[in-house]
A and B are shown apart, each in its own frame.
Chain A
Amino acid sequence: DTGVSQNPRHKITKRGQNVTFRCDPISEHNRLYWYRQTLGQGPEFLTYFQNEAQLEKSRLLSDRFSAERPKGSFSTLEIQRTEQGDSAMYLCASSLVLNGYEQYFGPGTRLTVT
């Protein structure tokens, strides 16, 4: 059973560019979550999917952010017109859709916007 994988692990981009991150969850997990973690803080929820449906988005997720999970398997998170404030670690997690089941996290994608 492979864990959650994320690509790329690191991304450096210039302000104003678009970036896209990918997350591959644990295969039998039907819930997929995106979180953002800045230095010295705990992860903050961005959005989640149950199968292919995006069911909740945090107000942290501005219009420049979009996430998809087209076939209920992998997910992508795109940030358009990046800003320096977008620099953070973007974490993906997956879980089963049973009450309170633990979320398993990937290694994260560290984004640096210059």
Chain B
Amino acid sequence: AQKVTQAQTEISVVEKEDVTLDCVYETRDTTYYLFWYKQPPSGELVFLIRRNSFDEQNEISGRYSWNFQKSTSSFNFTITASQVVDSAVYFCALSEATGGSEKLVFGKGTKLTVNP
């Protein structure tokens, strides 16, 4: 069965600090996809990134970077030089290619608060 664990329930940092959000996943599939979504206080889930299981290259997008390591089943997300606007709940999610639906299984989320 697929499972996503985000062990950090809440993180609080001061603006300009770097912060890493952890995500550990479980799956029996060899082909799967990993995602990060942001849920600001307004409530709408915003897609951030998708990685497939065959692509372990790390990715950087502006202040955001992602570290995918199959050996530890982790897909961690780092925000560099955090800003107040980064305050939100961040969800890691997994979908398996087999079964057809590619439904997302989400972790419980990490609430990030960036203080000025």
A-to-B contact residues, CB < 8 Å: 31, 33, 35, 40-45, 48, 55-56, 89, 91, 93, 95, 99-108, 110
4 additional A-B residue pairs with CB within 8 Å, beyond A33-B104, A42-B4: A45-B104, A99-B52, A101-B50, A102-B47
B-to-A contact residues, CB < 8 Å: 4, 31, 33, 35, 37, 42-47, 50, 52, 91, 93, 95, 97, 99-109
- Residue contact B101 to A100, C-beta cutoff 8 Å: no
Contacts of A106 in B (CB 8 A): 44
Majority-rule SS of A interface residues? strand
Given contacts A100-B33, A104-B47, contact A48 B101 (CB under 8 A): yes
Give the docked Cα–Cα distance between A105 and B102 (Å): 15
Residue of A nearest to B100 (CB): A55
User: Residue B43 contacts which of A48, A95, A100, A108 (CB distance < 8 angstroms)?
Assistant: A108
Contacts of B91 in A (CB 8 A): 42-43
